[in-house]
């Protein structure tokens, strides 16, 4: 028995692969294109693991995907492969359409061909799990109910529109071809191995470097925060127990405005690694112009996965964010290595030389 993971060198995917092999002896084949956010260093601890195989490639490469499926005969495919940074989708949407829409289509086609050739016993237990986002639902007003699985899709950025399209493709392949699919829509993740262009890791990295801590607009954009290892445990639960064709929202029950997140990170750094001058890291907070079409609030109603599958997050935000800050403080080499020339070049292009870097959240 084997599973095929796509995008397993990225932030959530690498955490999933690490957790899977720590808890199971079932092998993992990890297919990743290794774009800027796909970092093989995340998985260096598995370099000699007998149950881990890395395949460098694109989910749009049907020949490669067909070969991996034929050779390793996985019982499930877990699809993390995606372009996911909203700011990048605004400045360059083409890559998001190619990976998130065309890539998902090509992957589904390969999977459909493979699944169609399985014998009955294998077909009935086979699974395709598609990992998506709460951003497909659009933006909520302060008093609106949280996103449920039946909430109308209303994506507002090229990124979220591309993920919405991929979700619809997955649903269509289930209803048209009978492909046994599952879809998860998660809230904002945080934790180890997060590329430092997103809100929490960027704040940690910039604070230590003495750089501005950029906050979009008034900083009151609200997100539901989910510790990445809780997300991984939820995906495992959906893979094992989820009903075919169903969607499961995964959230942390932690709605917080961005500014509160930044304050929390600053306060933890004040405690764990104080500034030499004795001042709070909050002094580095800088407000920058809001990004175009910035959604005001996301919130996940995660009752379905709790009631049907018995899953709920283990970490509170307070425990998860402390673990996250400690991880970044303890892994400066990883941070230094991930901040390579291409990352700095993109930062300069996106925000201009000398301007603070504003994160996606």
| Residue of 215, 188, 196, 208 whose CA lies nearest to 317 | 188
Whole-number Å distance between alpha carbons of 28 and 52? 5
DSSP helix/strand/coil, 35: coil
Residues 6+ apart with CB under 8 A from 141: 296, 297
Q: What does the alpha-carbon distance between residue 114 and residue 57 come to, in Å, rounded to a whole number?
A: 18
Cβ atoms within 10 Å of 277's Cβ, excluding its own: 6
Which SS3 state, helix, strand or coil, does residue 347 take? Answer: helix
From 32, 87, 134, 197, the catalytic residue: 134
Q: Which of 135, 167, 230, 315 is catalytic?
A: 135
Q: What is the dihedral of CA 319, 317, 205, 198, to 10 degrees?
A: 150
Give the neighbor-by-neighbor strand order of the sheet with 3-6.
Answer: 52-56, 28-32, 3-6, 76-79, 127-133, 181-186, 247-250
Residue 145 bears catalytic tag:
no
134 labelled catalytic: yes
Active site residue 159: yes
| DSSP letters spanning 101-142 | IIIHHHHHHHHHHHHHTS-HHHHHH-EEEEEEEGGGG----T
User: Maximum distance among all alpha carbons in the chain?
Assistant: 68
Burial class from Cβ neighbours inside 10 Å (0-12, 13-18, 19+) for residue 361 reads buried
52, 137, 159, 216: the catalytic one is: 159
- The residues annotated with a catalytic role in the active site are 134-135, 159
């Amino acid at each position: 028995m084997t599973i095929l993971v796509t995008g397993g060198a990225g932030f959530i995917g690498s955490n999933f692969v690490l957790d899977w092999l720590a808890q199971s002896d079932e092998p993992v084949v990890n297919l990743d294109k290794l774009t800027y956010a796909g970092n093989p260093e995340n998985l260096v601890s598995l370099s000699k693991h007998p149950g881990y195989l890395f395949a460098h490639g694109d989910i749009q490469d049907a020949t490669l995907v067909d070969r991996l499926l034929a050779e390793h005969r996985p019982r499930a495919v877990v699809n993390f492969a995606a372009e996911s940074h909203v700011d990048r989708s605004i400045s360059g949407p083409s890559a998001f359409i190619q990976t998130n829409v065309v890539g998902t289509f090509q992957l589904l086609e390969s999977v459909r061909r493979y699944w169609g050739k399985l014998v009955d016993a294998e077909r009935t237990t086979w699974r395709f799990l598609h990992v998506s986002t709460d951003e497909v639902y659009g933006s909520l007003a302060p008093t609106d109910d949280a996103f449920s699985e039946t909430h109308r899709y209303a994506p507002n950025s090229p990124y979220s529109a591309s993920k919405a399209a991929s979700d619809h493709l997955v649903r269509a392949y289930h209803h048209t071809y009978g492909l046994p699919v599952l879809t998860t829509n998660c809230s904002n993740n945080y934790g180890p191995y997060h590329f430092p262009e997103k809100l929490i890791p960027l704040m940690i990295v910039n604070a230590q470097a003495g750089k501005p801590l950029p906050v979009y607009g008034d900083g009151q954009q609200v997100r539901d925060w989910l510790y990445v290892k809780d997300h991984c445990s939820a995906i495992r639960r959906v893979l094992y127990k989820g009903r075919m064709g169903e969607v499961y929202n995964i959230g942390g029950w932690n709605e917080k405005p961005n500014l509160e997140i930044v304050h929390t990170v600053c306060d933890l750094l004040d405690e764990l690694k104080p500034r030499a001058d004795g001042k709070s890291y909050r002094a580095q907070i800088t407000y920058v112009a809001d990004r175009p079409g910035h959604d005001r609030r996301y919130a996940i109603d995660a009752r379905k996965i709790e009631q049907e599958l018995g899953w709920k997050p283990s970490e509170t935000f307070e425990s998860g964010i402390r673990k996250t800050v400690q991880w970044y403080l303890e892994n400066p080499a990883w941070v230094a290595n991930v901040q390579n020339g291409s990352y700095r070049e993109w930062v300069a292009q996106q925000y201009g030389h000398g301007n603070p870097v504003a994160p996606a959240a």
